[in-house]
A and B are shown apart, each in its own frame.
Chain A
Amino acid sequence: MITVRDIHKSFGKVHAVRGVSFNAPDGKITGLLGPNGAGKSTTLRVLYTVLKPDGGSADIDGADVVTDSLAAREKIGALPHGAGLYPHLTARENIAYFARLCGLDKAEVDDRVDQIVKLLEIGEFAERRTKGFSQGQRTKVSLARALVHNPQNILLDEPSNGLDVMATRSLREIILKLKDDGRCVLFSSHVMQEVAALCDDICIIAHGRVAIDDSIDGIRERTGCDDIEDAFVKAIHMVGPE
């Protein structure tokens, strides 16, 4: 369960996030939807604690991301935007490295890596060094790395970027599996169709503010648009640049 309360973040003169609030409950998929530069990545970066908000607060299962950031990190698995792997390590070694850093002991590491390799269907290329992996293979390994310690809350920043249809589909299946497991999944995207197909709740962000936070039907109703793309565009125009 992720709670975000009125967070602000500026980079120099750029006020990237200006008061974003939302809830991402367990057992549901929450989508952060917005055009490029809307503040989605910044919001997620605050949640996985690599950025400190200038104002407001956020917590992960009750652990504040600023004052108790280590505990907050224990409860999340994050897939940052454009996450990279260590090219000289095999896929399995990449995953196991993160598992060990998460505090799993040796036997647990082997067990969990085996499970996650099976779950994400990585087996075929698990023993190969990740140098030269395709985008889809890289995303799968990065996702496995984020999930290896069995986190309750999962943050995915534009996970489907650069994936082909097959890879996107298998990613979608994984996300649905996580939801059925009772996890809290928060993921960002700029593709309305993708979000609509997956998410229970959608939080549309534009110009660093929340335009609408509702279910897909709720959004259709409030924008008066049946077509999801039209609804998205209309929602974005609900908040001005200032």
Chain B
Amino acid sequence: MRTLLTVFLKEVLDNFRDRRTLGSALLMGPIFGPVLFAFVINLSIERSLDDAETTLELPVIGQEYAPNLVAFLYSQNIDAIDGPADTAAAMDAVKTGEHDVVLVIPEAFGEQLAGMVPARIELVSDQANSDADRDARRVRNSLYAYNQTLAGTRVVARGINPRALQPLIVDEIDVSTPSGRSAMLLGMMSYFFVFAALMGGMYLAIDTTAGERERGSLEPLLSLPVTRDQLIFGKIAATCLFMTLSLMLSLTAFYFSLNFMPLEQLGMTPNFGPGVVLAALAIFLPFILVGAALMTLVASFTKSYREAQTWLSVVLIAPTMPILIVSILTLRPRTEFMFIPSLSQHLLLVDMVKNEPINGLHVAISVISTLVIGIVLTWVCARLYRREGLLG
């Protein structure tokens, strides 16, 4: 135990002295997350404000054939401007990105309308371009509204109640709460927490094997009257400490930066107060051991510091994969998910941010299974540390 403590303290001192590495590990991970996050949030706020308030300038070919439609669009905050010469030119303009959407009104429009023949108009857009698609959707909705208005007028002229055209009314009741809506976006947070924690311990994990070997300090260390188990446990403990520090910094950074994000404008009020921050820390702690042991394990197979760095950047991605898959498939928390480290922590955090009741069984399974996996990985590390191949 004393040996373990000696190794631990030395690694802590050594790592604190290495300012550059420490800086990148303890600042990069925790700060990268909130900054990227603030950027994404502000971007989505900007875009959602765009939709309703700004005037859309829509190139319309053949405005003169449908003055009423143009006037209607104007009332919908869509201004008709002069467009390209013809449909072919319009398609080119959209393809090249000169215009996002172009409306084409053929010469026969007025005639068809008067003759009660469905009047054809053309909407040119690129549906693969999501940004342009929003504008197209807005124009399409306005056109449907115009369609409804015209249909209404026609049936009234025949003495029919226009409501006959509307046999159904669909009322959508959204049960999502402001905290719930924020969970989708804030689910990203756990990705950054996992990332920050791993970054914080990466250099130490490499140093335990590849670093010591490359420096030539491994053989002198192994020739001392201590067991290798004590050495590696001390080193993994130090790795855990720096991972925890990095995680704490990341949590704090998020806590403060969320105050500066205009989340209310998006209808989100994330439940991320000091209590949740502490609970998140507690829930993520067992994962620290898994991360530290996993990184040490992978680094122990590598021949050099550089090779270890390359492999560990792959390891940085691995724990975030289950989070990504579950987020894309929008799966609900299930008991069996709680056996998977990083995923269980993510799902529990999302529930907390949503301000939903936390399932005690889920917490217990998450903590115990993650700890068991961490201990098994640590044991494997210790076994590998006894190999002769360790010397490289």
Which chain A residues have a beta carbon within 8 Å of chain B's beta carbons? 45, 48-52, 70-71, 73-74, 76, 78-80, 82-89, 93, 97-98, 100-103, 129, 142, 145-146
Contact of B223 with A80 in the complex, beta carbons under 8 Å: yes
How many angstroms from the CA of A192 to the CA of B9 in the assembled complex? 43
Taking a contact as CB atoms under 8 Å apart, the answer to whether A80 and B10 are in contact is no
Q: Which residues of the other chain, A, contact B227 by a CB distance below 8 angstroms?
A: 70
User: Which of B7, B219, B225, B391 is the one whose CB lies under 8 Å from A103?
Assistant: B225
Max chain A Cβ within 10 angstroms of own Cβ: one of B3, B14, B216, B223: B223
Complex: how many Å from CA A100 to CA B3?
8
Task: Say whether B219 contacts A50, CB under 8 Å.
Answer: yes
Which of B17, B224, B225, B226 contacts A88 (CB under 8 A)?
Answer: B17
The interface of chain B, by Cβ under 8 A from chain A, is 2-3, 6-7, 10, 13-14, 17-18, 215-217, 219-227, 388, 391
The interface residues of chain B, by DSSP majority, are classed as helix
New A-B contacts (13) at CB < 8 Å, excluding given A70-B227, A84-B220:
A51-B391, A52-B388, A70-B226, A73-B226, A78-B220, A83-B217, A85-B215, A86-B217, A87-B215, A88-B13, A89-B17, A93-B13, A100-B6
B3 touches A101 (CB 8 A): yes
A-B contact pairs, 15 of them (CB 8 A): A51-B391, A73-B224, A78-B219, A80-B216, A80-B219, A83-B216, A84-B215, A89-B14, A89-B17, A93-B13, A97-B6, A101-B3, A101-B7, A102-B225, A129-B17
Q: Contacts of A73 on B, CB cut-off 8 Å?
A: 223-226
Query: Is the pair B388, A88 in contact by a Cβ cutoff of 8 Å?
Result: no
Q: Which residue of B lies closest to A9 (CB)?
A: B388
CB <8 Å contact, A83 and B224:
no
Q: Check B220 against A146 for contact (C-beta < 8 Å).
A: yes
Given contacts A79-B220, A83-B220, A89-B17, contact A70 B225 (CB under 8 A): yes
Cβ contact of A84, chosen from B10, B216, B225, B226, cutoff 8 A:
B216
| Chain A nearest Cβ from B332, distance in angstroms | 48
* A216 shortest CB reach to chain B, Å: 29
Provide the residues of chain A in CB contact with B221, threshold 8 Å. Answer: 101
A98 and B215: CB pair below 8 A? Answer: no
Chain B residue contacts of A100, Cβ below 8 A: 6
Task: Identify the closest chain A residue to B216 (Cβ).
Answer: A84
Residues of A within 8 A of B222 (CB): 49-50
With a cutoff of 8 Å between Cβ atoms, the chain B residues found around residue A50 in the complex are 219, 222-223, 388, 391
Q: Give the nearest-CB partner of B390 in chain A.
A: A50
